[in-house]
């Protein structure tokens, strides 16, 4: 203390300024690391850091992936943390929401061994199609996935996901949300399905739960209707119109008469198109011969299809027929519907 007091004011002032600068820098870095978000992505993804990458290289990669706001400040923080040689190379699973501190901690402590396989499950895929897609990417065996999805998943996951309790059958067809996923090679069907159910819960069940309760149909029936809308619609803007046709037909106690339900009923015997003889197939999924909804969804609907199931357009349409471009002609009467079909046949021949 005596030694400090004997120093001249300029020396004491310099020490004070140095301590203050260190404190302010530390505080600023703490705030930046703790509260500034890093990831601006709407879903998890795999980040690759090549072997022998310098801090500058890593900063460039992070900036390109919108994970840091300033390459210069990132390098400053790494030097301040004395972490220049601690950043690892490899494949890192970046979560949906992550702050700067968690990102740097991940790059230092994670093994970087996330050699996950990216696979996209399109809207309108059935369990059979999903299993084929997963098998083609060496993620799991087709038969194992189908067996688990059709006979085991509901029992195992119904407590975690309440919407499964309303399903009248054991299959969870329609509840595996279509999305791009990252899975381990040789992942278990249980692990895969749990992740897809979590996505359905987050994207469909939670957002639409209250809205669905205002309809006279069960949540399960709305998922089933959404799956039919998904399979019938190649144009997103038509989904509410197609939904209105199904609602109008239900009100009039008419068959829903949806070709995709017949395709689902035919299964492996389906031959690229629906023939008139196929409309007589004996199946609870044949909506040409059975009133009301099929017992389960026929595919996994996307969010827009489910929104259309809950929000149909207000129309008087009862029929629609597909045009060559994938859109539809809508009509209010059967005679009008037949006339449109005749016109389309004449155009096709000419």
List CB contacts of 280: < 8 A, sequence separation 6 or more: 286, 288, 289
CB 243 within 8 A of CB 313: yes
Q: What is the pLDDT of residue 160?
A: 96
Average pLDDT, the chain: 88
**pLDDT tier, 211 (very low <50, low <70, confident <90, very high otherwise):** confident
Other C-beta atoms closer than 10 Å to the C-beta of 323 total 14
Q: Is 314 domain-assigned?
A: yes
Residue 112 lies in a domain: no
pLDDT at 203 over 80: yes
In-domain check, residue 170? no
Phi, psi angle pair for 195, to nearest 5°: -65, -40
Mean pLDDT of 166-185: 92
User: Count of domains in the chain?
Assistant: 2
The answer to whether residues 202 and 150 touch, using CB atoms and an 8 Å cutoff, is no
One DSSP character per residue, 266-329 reads HGGG-BSB--GGGGG---TT-TTTS-S--SS-SS---HHHHHHHHS-------EEEE-TTS-EE
Res 21 pLDDT > 90: no
- Residue range(s) defining the domain that contains residue 251: 218-350
For residue 83, the 8-state DSSP code is: -
Residue 340 domain-assigned (yes or no): yes
Name the DSSP letter for residue 175.
-
DSSP state of 295: S
Give a yes or no: residue 284 inside a domain: yes
Q: What is the structure's pLDDT at 223? A: 97
Q: Which residue has the tokens 């054991």?
A: 170
Residue 203 sits at φ, ψ, to 5 deg, of -95, -25
- Is 200 contained in some domain? no
Task: Return the pLDDT at 4.
Answer: 47
Q: Is the pLDDT of residue 22 over 70?
A: no
Q: What SS3 state is found at 43?
A: coil
Residue 23 has pLDDT above 60, yes or no: no
Confidence check: pLDDT of 17 > 70? no
Q: Who has greater pLDDT, 122 or 15?
A: 122
Tell me if residue 54 falls in helix, strand or coil.
Answer: coil
pLDDT at 29 over 60: no
User: Which pLDDT score is estimated for 40?
Assistant: 62
pLDDT at 204 > cutoff 90: yes
Residue % of the chain over a pLDDT of 70: 87
Mean pLDDT of all residues in 193-199? 96
CA triplet 254, 226, 194: central angle to 5 degrees? 140
Q: Identify whether the C-beta of residue 306 lies closer than 8 Å to the C-beta of residue 223.
A: yes
Residue 41 has a pLDDT of 73
- What 3-state class would DSSP assign to 4? helix
79 — phi, psi (to 5°)?
-65, -45
The pTM (predicted TM-score) of the whole model is: 0.75
Q: What is the mean pLDDT of residues 236-249?
A: 97
- 240 part of a folded domain: yes
Query: 162 with 115: CB under 8 angstroms?
Result: no
Distance CA 300, CA 122 (A): 9
> Which pLDDT band holds residue 83 (cuts at 50, 70, 90)?
confident
List, for residues 122-175, the tens digit of each pLDDT value.
999 999 999 999 999 999 999 999 999 999 999 999 999 999 998 999 999 999
213 lies in some domain = no
Least confident of 170-179, 251-260, 271-280, 330-339: 271-280
* H runs (alpha helix) in the chain: 2-6, 9-35, 55-64, 71-80, 100-109, 127-136, 142-151, 153-157, 189-200, 206-213, 219-232, 239-251, 259-266, 303-310, 334-349
């Amino acid at each position: 203390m005596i030694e400090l007091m004997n120093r001249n004011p300029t020396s004491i002032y310099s020490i004070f300024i140095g301590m203050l600068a260190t404190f302010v820098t530390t505080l600023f870095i703490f705030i930046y690391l703790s509260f500034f978000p890093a990831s601006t992505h709407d879903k998890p993804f795999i980040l690759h850091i090549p072997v022998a990458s310098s801090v500058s290289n890593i900063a460039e990669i992070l900036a390109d992936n919108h994970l840091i706001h300033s390459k210069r400040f990132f390098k400053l923080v790494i030097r301040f943390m004395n972490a220049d040689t601690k950043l690892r190379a490899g494949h890192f699973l970046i979560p949906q929401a992550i702050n700067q501190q968690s990102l740097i901690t991940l790059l230092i402590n994670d093994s970087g061994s996330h050699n996950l396989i990216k696979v996209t499950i399109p809207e309108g895929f059935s369990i059979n199609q999903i299993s084929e897609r997963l098998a083609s990417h060496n993620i799991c065996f087709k038969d194992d996935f189908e067996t688990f999805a059709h006979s085991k998943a509901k029992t195992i996951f119904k407590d975690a996901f309440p919407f499964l309790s309303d399903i009248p059958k054991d299959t969870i067809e329609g509840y595996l949300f279509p999305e791009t996923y990252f899975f381990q090679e040789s992942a278990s069907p249980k692990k895969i399905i749990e992740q897809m159910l979590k996505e359905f819960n987050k994207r469909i069940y939670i957002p639409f739960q209250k809205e669905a309760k205002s309809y006279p149909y069960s949540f399960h029936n709305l998922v089933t209707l959404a799956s039919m809308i998904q399979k019938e619609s190649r144009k997103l803007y038509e989904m509410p119109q197609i939904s209105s046709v199904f609602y109008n037909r239900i009100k009039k106690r008419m068959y829903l008469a949806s070709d995709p339900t017949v395709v689902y009923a035919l299964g492996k015997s389906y031959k690229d198109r629906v023939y008139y003889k196929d409309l007589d197939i004996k199946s609870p999924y044949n909506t040409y011969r059975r009133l009301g909804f099929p017992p389960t969804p026929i595919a996994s609907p996307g969010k827009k299809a489910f929104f259309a199931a809950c929000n149909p357009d207000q129309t008087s349409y009862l029929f629609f027929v597909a045009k060559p471009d994938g859109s539809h002609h809508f009509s209010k009467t059967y005679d009008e519907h037949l006339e449109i079909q005749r016109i389309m046949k004449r155009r096709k021949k000419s």
